[in-house]
Amino acid sequence: MQCHKVRNILITDGLDGEWSETQRRRVEAHLAQCPECGAFARELQGAAAEPFMDMPRQDVPSDLLADIHRDLRVRVQARRSVFKNLIEYWWQTVSARPALAFVPAAVVGLIVLLSVFQPPRVATQVALQDLSEDSYLMYLASYAEDGNGSDGYGTVIEEVFL
């Protein structure tokens, strides 16, 4: 195994023990006979592994959970209060002007009416059809009266083939 390959393995998989058994045996065989790579392995251990070894965990601040609970309570109350405020506002408005209670019913009724009674689309289509028929007849008439004596009948192709 070449030195650069060995060092490449040592710096990641080797240091973290993420290598296969075969890989480990091959690297160790190389290290046994290559003092430079052996020195590199020790240097790597000192620079990238030892400083982090058995580093104790820091204590979580004791009042963190209380802060989280307070945060969550505010959020839950904010969500509830949006709905609650809407209901309260509506109730106050309706108490002051009872006639406003009919507004939602009127809106719903209007929506139902609009969806049931559609505008008469068929009549429009007939009118369009008539118009197109009229223009087609006018087109035919103009073709018959174009004054070239052919009575609007016969083309060069027809003269050749018929």
Partner 1 sequence: MNQSEVMTEISQETIQQAARGNEAAFDTIYHATAGFVYNTALRVIRNRELAREISQEVYVTLFDKLKTFRHESRLSTWLYRITVNKAINLMKSESRMKRADVELDHVAPHVAPEAAACEEQEERRRVINRLLDLLTPEQRACVVLRNLEGLSYARIAGVLGVGVDVVRSRLRRAREKFLSARREVMRDAMS
Residues in touch with partner 1 (CB under 8 A):
8, 11-13, 15-16, 18, 43-44, 46-49, 51-52, 55-61, 64-65, 67-69, 71-72, 75
Give least dist CB 98 to partner 1, A: 37
Q: How far apart are CA 24 and CA 10, in angstroms?
A: 9
Decide whether 59 or 145 has the Cβ nearer to partner 1. Answer: 59
Give least dist CB 88 to partner 1, A: 24
Q: Which residue pairs, CB below 8 angstroms and at least 24 apart, start in 19-28? A: 26/1, 27/1
SS3 of residue 151 by DSSP: coil
Residue 32 near residue 6 (C-beta atoms within 8 A): no
Decide whether 60 or 122 has the Cβ nearer to partner 1. Answer: 60
Q: How far apart are CA 34 and CA 5, in angstroms?
A: 13
Give least dist CB 36 to partner 1, A: 14
Give least dist CB 30 to partner 1, A: 19
Q: How far apart are CA 129 and CA 119, in angstroms?
A: 18
Decide whether 57 or 121 has the Cβ nearer to partner 1. Answer: 57
SS3 of residue 98 by DSSP: helix
Give least dist CB 63 to partner 1, A: 9
Check residue 83 and give left, alpha or beta (phi > 0: left; psi -120 to 50: alpha): alpha
Decide whether 70 or 97 has the Cβ nearer to partner 1. Answer: 70
Decide whether 13 or 24 has the Cβ nearer to partner 1. Answer: 13
